[in-house]
Amino acid sequence: YLASAPMAGNNDGGIYRSTDGGASWTKVWPQGAEEVSYDVVFDPNDPNVAVADTDAGTVVYSNDGGQTWQLVTSVLPAQSNIGYRVSLAFDPTVKHSVYALVDNAPWNGPSGQVYHSVDGGATWSLVADTSAFVNQDSGVTTGALCDESYVGGTLECQGGYDNVLAVVPQGGGTPPILITGGVDVFTSLDGGSTWKQIGSWWKNDSNYIHGDDHAISSDGQTVFVGNDGGMFQLASGDTWIAHNK
């Protein structure tokens, strides 16, 4: 599967599917419309279930292995303007459990809400509004995707550029650890009820990590974040090790 953005003057954006190992591709969503998708994610516990984002602040989901897709039309912000990106991640140990980090107000802010679905993306509930994310330096609620600790205190939201989400299982019936990346990094140890900033773009902070996160990965023990500054590994507590030369 391929997520694609349209080139100027055409309708090539959307989701494409290949059944011959990538030799040829068929557009499966949307049909005849210009749309953007950044993420196509399959449930590791059910290959028929998949979710993908749109540039309208919402999600599409599939129950037939990605052959057809349905648009989510409620709960998620579903903004009318383009550029409202959504990151998606399944809980690798719970079937049909998927989380979304939504760029709900990218230019005005605060922005960065977390939603949860227990039915493979068909329906969603809000687990963390922007007020749950408090900047450690200023004490201001910014959302998961913004920072206002820049010079002058201007709120900077970049969820259309840096927007990543990871779900790390804890086992034993305990809710998963959630990690969001934008300008800064936040984590929740209780499935999204409470949040703490564990990564700051300010070099003077003890939990410094370069800003603008684009990739995040975890094997359940170690967390890596890729950003504009390279590759960083989460060490003990909320300190980071840079793996860059």
Mean pLDDT by 10 residues, the chain (245 residues): 51 83 89 73 97 87 95 81 82 97 87 97 97 94 89 81 95 94 96 97 93 93 95 91 88
Cis bond upstream, residue 44 (ω within 30): no
For residue 73, what pLDDT is reported? 86
The model's pTM: 0.93
For residue 237, what pLDDT is reported? 77
